Amino acid sequence: MIYSPQFSSDDFELLNEEWAFRGYFGVRRIELKHRLFKGGWSAPVKREIFERGDAVAVLPYDPVADELVLIEQFRPGAMRAGDTPWMLELIAGVVEPGEGDEQVVHREAFEEAQCTLSELELIATFYPSAGACSEQIRCFIGRVEGAPQSGIFGLESENEDIKLHRLKLKAVMDLLRSNQINNGHTLIALQWLALNRDALRERWLS
């Protein structure tokens, strides 16, 4: 085995926690200690953690046409001078209590892109910024069964304004190579597909 974690969830102790802020998202203030690689325990450590819940994301792929469905929408966290805050990205949504990941994938695919999917495969589970945020993302690839060529979608009740793009895989990979994909989970999914496209097509088209 190349790597195995030295420590587990038994190797830290939560000493205190409280909500510092609760709104659309939340911030939790914690105090903890954890075991050290050199032996013993750390001194008490105080941190704030951004709480936004877990999410799922899906890259819809049509293996026959060799096309992807991506969406474009405004992202307030990307507002900075010189950059556009509109991002080309995967379909994604927050997992609410009592929901399963695949249920959320299908719901969000239809709400955000009028897209229906058949096979779903989990391709990655990751923390986008574990130093500050508790969010875990489970990322899927899904086989497109039906999707419009273009359109504007999303829920008005959630102020969503989402533009659908159906793009050839080669064109998207050109964007990836030229550093024009700047959304983290989209980068991960596209790089996975670049490595696994042939095997995936063999599974889905056999």
Q: Which residues are catalytic?
A: 158
CB atoms within 10 A of CB 68: 23
Non-local (6+) Cβ contacts of 176 within 8 A are 187, 190, 191, 194
Residue 69 to residue 91: CA distance in whole angstroms: 9
Q: How far apart are CA 167 and CA 21, in angstroms?
A: 41
Question: Alpha-carbon distance 58 to 189, whole Å?
Answer: 8
Question: For residues 50 and 22, what is the distance between their CA atoms, to the nearest angstrom?
Answer: 10
CA distance 101 to 176: 27
Does residue 70 contact residue 151 with C-beta atoms inside 8 Å?
Answer: no
Hunting for tokens 């489970």 — which residue is that? 138
